Copies of this chain bind each other. A is one copy, B any other.
Amino acid sequence: MALKASELKAGDTYTECLVEDLKRTQIVQYAGASGDYNPVHTDELFTKEVAGYPSVFAHGMLTMGMTGRMLTNYVGDGRLKSFGVRFTSQVWPGDTLHSTATVEEVNDDVVNLKVETANQDGTVVVSGYATARVNV
């Protein structure tokens, strides 16, 4: 079950659906869990009328967090050593996100991954990299 470096090669991919039809409630749950209560994520009236966005939107860190969940599901618990992304597009209520990790390189027990999360239109919302230490 645990991922093994010897069974991985460049180009291998792993994909997960991170969320289907993202609910405002999940964004509120993330606000509570993270302590990030910026109202552009939770207050529809403020966000439309004062901040000037079409609706509330997800914290970038929620998208990154769900992408991290995909990574730890793939590489195993406690094995993720580094993770970085660029935030390239916003995530809105109703969005469905899929995330893919692609093996770029395997050096002994260290795996370098390319990471990309996209919405239902194929727009990339975060892209980046991760490194993991796995079993040989």
Residues of A within 8 A of B (CB): 18-19, 26, 29-30, 32-36, 38, 40, 59-62, 64-66, 68-69, 72, 77-78, 80-87, 128-129
> Which of A32, A65, A78, A82 gathers most chain B CB within 10 Å?
A65
Which residues on B sit within 8 Å (CB–CB) of A34? Answer: 30, 33, 62, 65-66, 68-69
Distance (whole angstroms) from the CB of A14 to the closest CB of chain B: 16
Number of copies: 2
| Distance, CA A109 to CA B62, complexed state (A) | 25
Contact A69 B128 (CB under 8 A): no
Interface centre among A34, A64, A82, A86 (most CB of B within 10 A): A34
